[in-house]
Amino acid sequence: MGVHSLLSTFSVLSLCTTFLVVLMTEPYKSFGFISGLALESPPDGICATSITIHGYECQEYEVTTDDGYILSVQRIPQGRVGGGTNKKLPVILQHGLFLDGRTWVLNSPDQNLGFILADRSFDVWIANTRGTHFSRRHVSRNPTSLKFWDWSWDDLAAHDLPAVIDLVFNQTGQKVNYVGHSQGTLIALALFSQAKQIDKVNSVALLSPIAYLSFIPEAIIAKGLIAQVPSEIGFGEFDPTVPYVQEFVGTLCAKSGFDCFDVASAFTGINCCLNGSVLDVFLKYELQPTATKNLLHYAQTARDGIFRKYDYGNFIENEFHYGKTTPPVYDLSAIPRNLPLFLSYGGRDLLSDVLDVQTLLKALKLHDPDKLSVQYIKNYAHLDFIFGVNAKDVVFSKVMSFILQHS
C-alpha cells in the first residue's frame, strides 16, 4: 500500500474520530443460528480469515442479547501446540469503537494478545459488538432500518456485554477475566458501576480506559457543532467508509477550522510502536460501522464532562426513559471495591487523555488498593496498546500477571 493511500485512509479514520466527538454493507449471512453453541465456521468469518490460518483451533459462536441482537463470538481454546491444563482461565477480549474482534488477532501471532493468551494456556473469547461486520443481525430488525441502529454505548453495556459474559460463564463454568480496549473499557465501567454481572467476573483489565472525554482536543468541536448531527445525518448507521459520511464530516471540520488532515497520522496520539505491516492488515479489515446515536452519546460525554446515560435532549423523553428529567449518572464509586481492576494508559493518548484518566482514578479512590493496579506508559498512544510491536513485553505480560495474581 502506497504512502498516499495509507494517509488517505487515515484521513477517513481521523474524520470519523472528529465526528465521534462532534456528536450499507450487506447483513452477515447466517450459517445456522443456535445461541450459545459452536457453529460451522463461515469461510469469510474471523476464525477462517484471521485465526486458523496461523495454526490455531478456533470455534465460532453466536449469542442473542436480551434485546434481540445476534452477536458473533470467536473462541481460541488452546495454543498452537495444544495441551495445557484442563481448566483453563477464560478471558474475554472486547474491542473499541470502529473496530471488531479482529483487532486482537491482526498482528503476527507473537505480537497480538489473542494468540499470546492462547499460547499461555488461557481460554480466549473474542467479542464483536452489534453493528460490526459479523454482528449485523437481529431477531426481527433489518440493518437497513433505523430501528436496528437505535442504540448507544448504554446498550452495549446493558445488553451486549452481559450476553457475552453469560455465554462464556455458562460454557466454561468459571468466572471470566475481562480485557477491554477503548470503548471496551467504557462499557465495562458502565456495567460494573451498576454492580451487574459481578458474580461472574474474576478480574477486569482496561487498556486506554475511557469514562471521561473532557480533555481530548476535539472537544472544542463537540461543544460547538453537536446540534448539527441529528438534522444533517440522522439517527441511522454511521459507516466511516461511505462517501457521504466522509463528506459530511469533512464539512464539519471545515466549519470548525479544525484541520482533519493534519491529525490524520496522530488522531489517537503519536503512536510510538506500530509497524507498517500491521497497518496494512488493519486497513484491510477494520473501520467498522457504528450507530450515529452512539457517536452522539460520546459527543455528549465530551461536551458535558459527565459519565452518564444518553441524553434525549428534553425532559419529557428523559422522564419516559429514566423516570427523571436528566439522565442517570454512572457512579464509578459503586463498582465493588474488591473487584480486581488493572488500568493501563499512555502519555500520548489523545482519546484516553491523561487528565481524563486522572478523573477516572479519582472516582475510584476508595477502591481496595490491593485490587487496583495502574500502569502509566509515557510514550504510548491509543493504538500502541493493541498493535505495538513491544506491547507483548510492556502491556500484555502485565495483563497476564494481573489475571493470574487474582485467579
Phi then psi dihedrals of residue 72, to 5 deg = -90, 135
Determine how β-strand 122-127 pairs with β-strand 89-94.
Answer: parallel
Cβ neighbours, 10 Å, residue 82: 10
Task: For residue 373, give the C-alpha cell.
Answer: 493496579
**Choice among 14, 182, 193, 203 that is catalytic:** 182
Determine how β-strand 59-64 pairs with β-strand 69-76.
Answer: antiparallel
How far is Cα of residue 93 from the mean position of the Cα atoms in its chain?
Answer: 9
Residue ranges with strand state E in 57-133: 59-64, 69-76, 89-94, 122-127
Coil, helix or strand for 163?
helix
Residue ranges with strand state E in 22-100: 38-39, 59-64, 69-76, 89-94
382 carries an active-site annotation: yes
Handedness of CA 393, 399, 405, 407 (dihedral sign): negative
280 carries an active-site annotation: no
Place of cell 459507516: 239
**Choice among 349, 353, 356, 384 that is catalytic:** 349
CA dist 245 and 150 (Å) reads 18
349 carries an active-site annotation: yes
DSSP assignments along 335-382, one per residue: S-TTS-EEEEEETT-SSS-HHHHHHHHHHTTTS-GGGEEEEEETT--T
**Choice among 95, 181, 367, 382 that is catalytic:** 382
Catalytic residues: 182, 349, 382
